[in-house]
Amino acid sequence: MAFSKVFADLEIGDHAAMTRRVTADDLYVFAHVSGNLNPANLPATDRACDDGTAPAPSMWLGSLFSAVLGNLLPGPGTVYRAQSLTFLSRAHVGDVLTVTVRVSEKTPPDQVSLRTQILRGAEVLVDGLAVISPPAQAIAYRDPGLPELTVALHRHAARLQAACAPLPPLPTAVVAPEDDSSLLGPMEARDAGLIAPILLGNETKIRTIAAGLGLDLTGIEIIDLPSHDAAAARGVALVHEGRVGAVMKGALHTDELLRHVVKSQGGLRVGRRISHVFVMDVPHLSDLLLVTDAAINIAPTLEDKVDITQNAIDLALALGIRLPKVGILSAVEVVNPKIQSTLDAAALSKMADRGQIRGGLVDGPLAMDNAISLSAAKTKGIVSLVAGRADVLVAPGLEAGNILAKELTYAAQAEGAGIVLGAKVPVLLTSRADDAAARLFSCVVAVLFEAWLRTGTSAVPPPARA
């Protein structure tokens, strides 16, 4: 425990210092607190880590002196009276700074002047003079335990979208884009060069919504159809005609679209079990997280789970995850004959060992905590290359998978893309409640997966590491 110094305790030459690394999150938090939205001081969001390109706002640097004065010298109870600042150079994201204060003058009864400087190595970035009043009596310093802050940046979504830049727009049948978000999403994807949409549905309604949103539909083909069922059927037919390479769900029920995707005659089946994957960009996780199946297979059998797992591994490979680590989820991390999901998990793990599931590392059963938390896995004594590091989570059933995906979206501020795999082409399957950003992200995932199917290689470079 440390104590602050009163006026009598301070001597000319007393000094204190702290070090601080400039992070991208610092810049975002300062922008929110100050209201200064100058883009020159905000890092690009398509980078996976700090790369030193963004300069810190000068007044953010100036605010660092208050931490030394208020915590170290004189310490708690200090009152700021004045501060002069001269900014000699800029600090950037990634810089390690030394913030120093040194007592230069005492003016009774309670005024103290301190030389204030911020250095990067030996270079002085900021020079100034602080005038303060120390506390009237010594106060004990304790860590107040401030609440943690999470900056909800979706860096992975931006990184994946950047990887789509050299790829051609993917011709996409958009089925029933008959509300704001289901039309705005594909139009934003069109404007970003991701897809070339063909709109299927009630043309009058589509044009009315576009006019209300200020969207320009010039050059976009619209096929007027009398019902959602007819629009879904036409979307699947366009795949067989070779006119589109993806189908996107709009403002219709999932079963209305999937009825035509999975039908035995004229559908899009290719021999593997069709399944759904949510690709989640969770702000506080360092990597993407894939969740399957949360939308199609209600109570999958072991045989179904083989295809569900393989589909997810294939998508992970397409998204640049070089050796996907797959956690097969259950309520516990040990095999219990009374819990079927633990038996399925053990079987899937062994099947992967024997080459029946390819391209990734598969382990289970794993509970949710020890699937994504290394500390939880270590605490429970789990020795595994997957535990605590899972890129893919295979849920025991649709209910668990759907709850997990929605919890990540609404409680953890994740951005989620939804895609159906195992069909002839990717099917973009988002919730009717999803916003345009989620639909745009789904287009990004579909473009990258289609490119992987076509070329056998991922268009996504490995993520940079901080």
Burial 278-291 (b: 16+ CB within 10 A, else e): bbbbbeeeebbbbb
Instruction: Tell me how far apart the alpha carbons of residues 277 and 429 are, in angstroms, rounded to a whole number.
Output: 9
Note the pLDDT of residue 462.
78
Residue partners of 272: CB distance under 8 A and separation at least 6 = 307, 310, 311, 422
Q: Tokens 């409640």 label which residue?
A: 433
- Percent with pLDDT over 70 in the chain: 96
- Treating both helix axes as pointing N-terminal to C-terminal, what angle do 340-353 and 302-318 enclose, rounded to 10 degrees? 60
**What pLDDT digit, counting tens, does each position of 381-401 carry?**
998 999 999 999 999 999 999
pLDDT, greater one: 23 or 52: 23
Note the pLDDT of residue 464.
60
For the cut 60, the answer to whether the pLDDT of residue 45 exceeds it is no
For the cut 90, the answer to whether the pLDDT of residue 153 exceeds it is no
Domain ranges of the chain: 2-141, 271-422
For the cut 70, the answer to whether the pLDDT of residue 441 exceeds it is yes
Instruction: Give the pLDDT band (50/70/90) at residue 437.
Output: confident
Q: Helix/strand/coil (H, E, C) string of the chain?
A: CEECCCHHHCCCCCEEEEEEECCHHHHHHHHHHHCCCCHHHCCCCCCCCCCCCCECCHHHHHHHHHHHHHHCCCCCCCEEEEEEEEECCCCECCCEEEEEEEEEEEECCCEEEEEEEEEECCEEEEEEEEEEECCCCCCEECCCCCCCCCCCCCHHHHHHHHHCCCCCCEEEEEECCCCHHHHHHHHHHHHCCCEEEEEEECHHHHHHHHHHHCCCCCCCEEEECCCHHHHHHHHHHHHHCCCCCEEEECCCCHHHHHHHHHCCCCCCECCCCCEEEEEEECCCCCCCEEEECCCCCCCCCHHHHHHHHHHHHHHHHHCCCCCCEEEEECCCCCCCCCCHHHHHHHHHHHHHHCCCCCCCEEEEEECHHHHHCHHHHHHCCCCCCCCCCCCEEECCCHHHHHHHHHHHHHCCCCEEEEEEECECCCEECCCCCCCHHHHHHHHHHHHHHHHHHHHCCCCCCCCCCC
Global pTM value: 0.77
Instruction: Give the pLDDT band (50/70/90) at residue 463.
Output: low
**What pLDDT digit, counting tens, does each position of 347-359 carry?**
999 999 999 999 9
Instruction: Give the pLDDT band (50/70/90) at residue 466.
Output: very low
**What pLDDT digit, counting tens, does each position of 157-172 carry?**
889 999 999 999 999 9
Which of 401, 409, 410 has the alpha carbon at shortest distance from 294?
401
Note the pLDDT of residue 308.
97
Contact 50, 23 (CB under 8 A): yes
For the cut 60, the answer to whether the pLDDT of residue 47 exceeds it is no
For the cut 70, the answer to whether the pLDDT of residue 52 exceeds it is no
Q: Does domain 2-141 have CATH number 3.10.129.10?
A: yes
For the cut 50, the answer to whether the pLDDT of residue 46 exceeds it is no
For the cut 90, the answer to whether the pLDDT of residue 103 exceeds it is yes
Q: Is 173 left (phi over 0), alpha (psi -120 to 50) or beta?
A: beta
Note the pLDDT of residue 49.
41
Burial of residue 370, with CB atoms counted within 10 A of its CB: 0-12 exposed, 13-18 middle, 19 or more buried:
buried
**What pLDDT digit, counting tens, does each position of 252-288 carry?**
999 999 999 999 889 999 889 999 999 999 987 888 9
How remote is the C-alpha of 333 from its chain's centroid?
27
Is-same-fold flag (2-141; 271-422)? Answer: no
- Percent with pLDDT over 90 in the chain: 78
Segment 318-333 shows an average pLDDT of 96
Which CATH code for domain 271-422?
3.40.718.10
> Mean pLDDT across the chain, nearest whole number?
91
Quote the tokens at residue 7. Answer: 């006026």
Quote the tokens at residue 353. Answer: 């060992």
